[in-house]
Amino acid sequence: MPFVIIAAVIAIICVARYYHNKKERNKEITWQEVQKQTDTKRNTISIDTSENFSEGEDVPAREVHSRAEHKRKIANTPNRYVVIDLETTGLNPQYDFITEFGAVLVEGSEIVDTFEQLVKPKKRIPEEVEDLTGITNEMVSDAPSINIVLPKFLKFIGNDILVGHNIDFDSQFISAACQRFNLPYKNKVCDTLELSQQVFPKLENHKLSTLCRKLNVTNDSAHRALSDVLATQQIFEKLSEKATPKIHNHAKFTLKKNSYNVRYSAKTKAIRELQEMLLDITDDNILTDEEVMELKDWLDCNEEFCNIYPFDKLKRIIENALEDGILEQHELDEMLEVFNDICKPEFDKDVSSEELINLDGKVLVFTGECQLGDTSEITPIYEAMGATIRTSVSGKTDYLVVGAYGSPDWSYGNYGSEVLKARELQEAGKKVKIINETDFLPIIYSEATT
């Protein structure tokens, strides 16, 4: 009997300790708690930026000097924090890359240090993103690569609290980049978008541009990293006067291992590479002899595909032009037209941006390789805009969306089954429209980053 009593007491103590620990884990983190951690950690850890690192290589940690301490003017916010913003080639950290870092270190409400750096990404910046951010492929052509910039950025942010607008977007790209180079990233974050929702629950939206107007904050170069950072810092200070900011663990993004090899067949990978070459060649709408010869060499190295479209058409037109050993201007003009037709397929043109913004009640079907990821990644994005996603085309379909990365069956010759079905419905007078994913990207990108 005494053993039963003792066991019962021990069980009660264990249960009480379990719920106490659970309560402690779920307790909201305060600025003061995080500030104590970062005051200690920032003084002992940083990333060595004296070397460049390759993907998969471990990076050492070294001591750095602490920054001056200042008294806080606003009780709701920490003494020190870093405001960040990134610009990227797109929205998916798995397939897209950072093109610009912007950050400011704030101590005692005053900006004491800044970080701004363009980055040369591993893929071309899409035209719609160039238009949105103003960062062009030409601007980043001579910029340092991510393996040089990322360690410097991580040293700048140290272990400080990171503040940003829709900061989950930025955190996921940082998380993905750090995974590629085995770099640590453990910062706590605070989102001014969330803070705005606390302060202005009835505001029509909480975009950065809307808050700038609401709070009389100037943003001279919207969608450039440092300009957005400076605006976000002012907004954060003003919102913090009205509500206590909440801090969280940063949003993580787990890269899919070997996703490129799993996701695409050899044929599709070759088509993607060919499309990038053609887009690069046609970008300035001028075709040179050197570009023709470079494309010919590439086709010769991929001759296993030269009996299928569009490889066969390209090989044939180049061989015909080179038959006499001279490339004349009319032959270059003809080839340029063909190249444009192949890499920029025709879609329904009577679809306006205003129409695509309002997707309430619309039914969408996706085909081909999408820039924003697979169906599981795409669906929440478009459902949040009011759309319903289906797997196949029917009479109820409003839009058949062809992925921005194209489809071997659609973008490069033959109709795929979904496109054929959509064309048949169009002939029967149905409402379905065939559009490119790139028609949506400026709208979605703007929603996600403002």
Task: Write the CATH number for 423.
Answer: 3.40.50.10190
CB 399 within 8 A of CB 373: no
- Flag whether 438 is in a domain: yes
What residues have CB less than 8 Å from 164, skipping those under 6 apart?
Answer: 83, 84, 85, 170, 171, 189, 190, 191, 192, 232
128 within a domain of the structure (yes/no): yes
- Number of domains within the chain: 3
What angle, rounded to 10 degrees, do the helices at 289-301 and 311-321 form?
Answer: 130
Domain assignment present for residue 414? The answer is yes
Same domain, 113 and 78: yes
- C-alpha closest to that of 254 among 188, 179, 182: 179
Q: Which of 206, 223, 248, 250 is catalytic?
A: 223
Give the integer Cα–Cα distance in Å for 393 and 423. 10
- At residue 427, the pLDDT reads 73
Q: Is residue 147 in some structural domain?
A: yes
* 223 labelled catalytic: yes
Q: What gap in Å lies between CA 352 and CA 357, rounded to an integer?
A: 9
Same domain? For 418 and 276 the reply is no
Task: Report if residue 279 sits inside a domain.
Answer: yes
In a domain, 1, yes or no: no
111 with 165, same domain: the answer is yes
Query: Is residue 327 located within the same domain as residue 368?
Result: no
Residues 331 and 394 in one domain: no
Claim to verify: residue 205 and residue 148 sit in the same structural domain: yes
Mark whether 221 and 76 lie in a shared domain: yes
Residue 403 corresponds to which tokens in the numbers above? 């992925």
Interatomic CA distance for residues 370 and 366, integer angstroms: 8
pLDDT in tens, 220-274: 777 788 889 999 999 999 999 999 999 888 877 777 654 433 445 676 667 767 8
Same domain, 212 and 335: no
Check whether residue 144 and residue 121 sit in a common domain: yes
Structure tokens at 296: 């010919």
Instruction: Say if residues 235 and 170 touch (Cβ distance below 8 Å).
Output: no
Q: Note down pLDDT in tens along the chain; length 450 residues.
A: 444 444 444 445 444 554 444 343 334 455 555 555 544 444 433 444 444 545 444 444 333 334 333 344 445 567 899 999 999 998 888 888 999 999 999 998 899 999 999 999 988 898 888 988 899 999 998 899 898 899 999 999 999 999 999 999 999 999 999 988 888 898 999 999 999 999 999 998 999 889 999 998 988 777 788 889 999 999 999 999 999 999 888 877 777 654 433 445 676 667 767 877 887 788 788 899 988 998 888 888 888 888 876 788 888 999 999 988 889 999 999 999 888 877 665 677 777 777 777 788 899 988 877 777 777 877 888 888 888 999 888 999 998 888 765 543 444 333 355 776 787 788 788 888 888 877 777 766 665 555
Is 16 inside any structural domain? no
Task: Mark which of 294, 312, 343 sits at the end of a domain.
Answer: 343
Domain boundary among 318, 343, 368: 343
Report the CATH number at residue 182.
Answer: 3.30.420.10
In a domain, 255, yes or no: no
Shared-domain flag, residues 182 and 312: no
Asked if residue 201 and residue 152 are part of one domain, the reply reads yes
The total of other beta-carbon atoms located within 10 Å of residue 65's CB is: 7
Among 343, 361, 395, residue at a domain's last position: 343
Task: Say if residue 114 is in the same domain as residue 143.
Answer: yes
Give the integer Cα–Cα distance in Å for 159 and 142: 30
* Residues spanned by the domain of 187: 31-249
